Amino acid sequence: MGIFLKKRTTGISFRTSKHLYKQGLFLSRLGRLLSEGFSLKDSLHFMNTLSKNDSDNWVDTINREVSMGASLSEALVQCEFPDHTCTQLYFALYHGDFNQAITRAGRQLIKQSEKRKKVAAIVQYPIMLIGFIIIMLFTMRYVLIPHIEQITSFQSEGMPLSTRLIVKLVYHAPVGLLSLTVLLVSSIAVLKFISQKESPVFRLNKLVKWMRTPLIKLYWSQYFSYEWGQLLKGSCSLLEVVTIMKSKQSSDLVNEIGQCVEQEMLKGKSFSESLDLFAFLNEEIKEVVRQGETSGKLGYELELYSVSCEEDFDRKMEQIMAWIQPLVFTGVALMIVAIYAALLLPTFSIMDTL
């Protein structure tokens, strides 16, 4: 879904790691050029000379949107850059560190693409093995088992019970796999349809409750603590931060958070107390905000906390990826052993009966 007043007309596009890397590289280069004193027009013209692929279309779109009075963040929406990236650049219009924000957003996209690529490399080979196993199951069900049944019956009392159970499992496996696939696809479609009718805050709160993983909390705590910290360091008050979040140019999630915080503050609650509504934020960020409101150094404290969250997020991601491959390979190995057992045990049983 689009996040700015000018909504996307092409819908959400699936971003591969390669596409994210290109977007990140584009923003990183643009940020460096702007930091070196180039104007936006000169920077885009220079980048247009460097590449004639995706960035060519992005440069044309940005030039067109900017000439019509749009900001860079609004123009990037039309180029289908991620929502959180466009919102970061919108916030940067207020805290003043615009060039650095563009460079940082680019680095984050590159980092995200590298993580996706790493996960894809981990699961690629196991997925190929699983595909091979599925082909073997269908081959055994529709080719091998009918031939064996011409020699002997699997229902005969002379056939060991374990062999009969394994053959029956292989016999019904293709139907079970198809049923499981249909059920999985249907469930995903239903959940997606339901989630589209829910508000972003409700959807995230529910996701945290179901998944119970610290990664979601770490990601969003890092995101908001950094952006709030930058706005506060740029001489914005907490009330001004809430007003900026409520803007129609913010993402749907940020906009709703701003409205919720404002409603809570109108009831007499502090900014830190209003964060209790959001289960996708760590408890620590609420404590940081509470202390920062007292010390008067909230912007700097939030920025330091965002660095801590980012480090924790990266460390936990590395731990998870270190566990994924062994678990997947163990599961695949067990499936292969089961396939060979289903293939060899009936053969040995037939040889014993001959």
Instruction: Give the pLDDT confidence of 119-129 residue by residue, as tens digits.
Output: 787 778 777 87
Which run of H or E residues covers position 75? helix 72-78
- How far apart (Å, rounded) are the C-alpha atoms in residues 46 and 244? 32
Q: What confidence score (pLDDT) does residue 9 get?
A: 37
Dihedral, CA atoms, 71, 72, 73, 77, nearest 10 degrees?
A: 100
Q: What confidence score (pLDDT) does residue 353 get?
A: 58
- How far apart (Å, rounded) are the C-alpha atoms in residues 139 and 174? 10
Please compute the mean of the pLDDT values over residues 190-206 and round it to a whole number: 86
Q: What is the DSSP letter of 98?
A: H
- How far apart (Å, rounded) are the C-alpha atoms in residues 266 and 284? 24
Residue 339: name the closest of 194, 129, 183 by CA. Answer: 129
Phi/psi at 36 (5° precision): -80, 0
Q: What angle, rounded to 10 degrees, do the helices at 252-266 and 200-211 form? A: 100
CA angle 330, 331, 332 (to 5 degrees): 90
- How far apart (Å, rounded) are the C-alpha atoms in residues 182 and 163? 29
Among the ranges given (4-18, 27-41, 89-103), the one the predictor scored with the smallest mean pLDDT:
4-18
Residue 40: name the closest of 67, 17, 22 by CA. Answer: 67
Beta carbons within 8 Å of 199's beta carbon, 6+ residues apart? 256
Report residue 175's pLDDT band, with 50, 70 and 90 as the boundaries: confident
pLDDT digits (tens, 9 = 90+) for 47-58: 877 766 656 688
Terminal-to-terminal C-alpha distance of the chain? 67
What global pTM score does this model have? Answer: 0.73
Please compute the mean of the pLDDT values over residues 262-275 and round it to a whole number: 90
The 3-state DSSP composition of the chain as helix, strand, coil percent (nearest 5) reads: 80, 0, 20
User: Hey, what amino acid is at 35?
Assistant: S
Query: Which residue's entry shows tokens 């563009």?
Result: 102
Specify whether the CB–CB gap between 249 and 5 falls below 8 A.
yes
Beta carbons within 8 Å of 347's beta carbon, 6+ residues apart? 148
Domains in the chain, CATH or no CATH each:
17-113 (1.20.81.30)
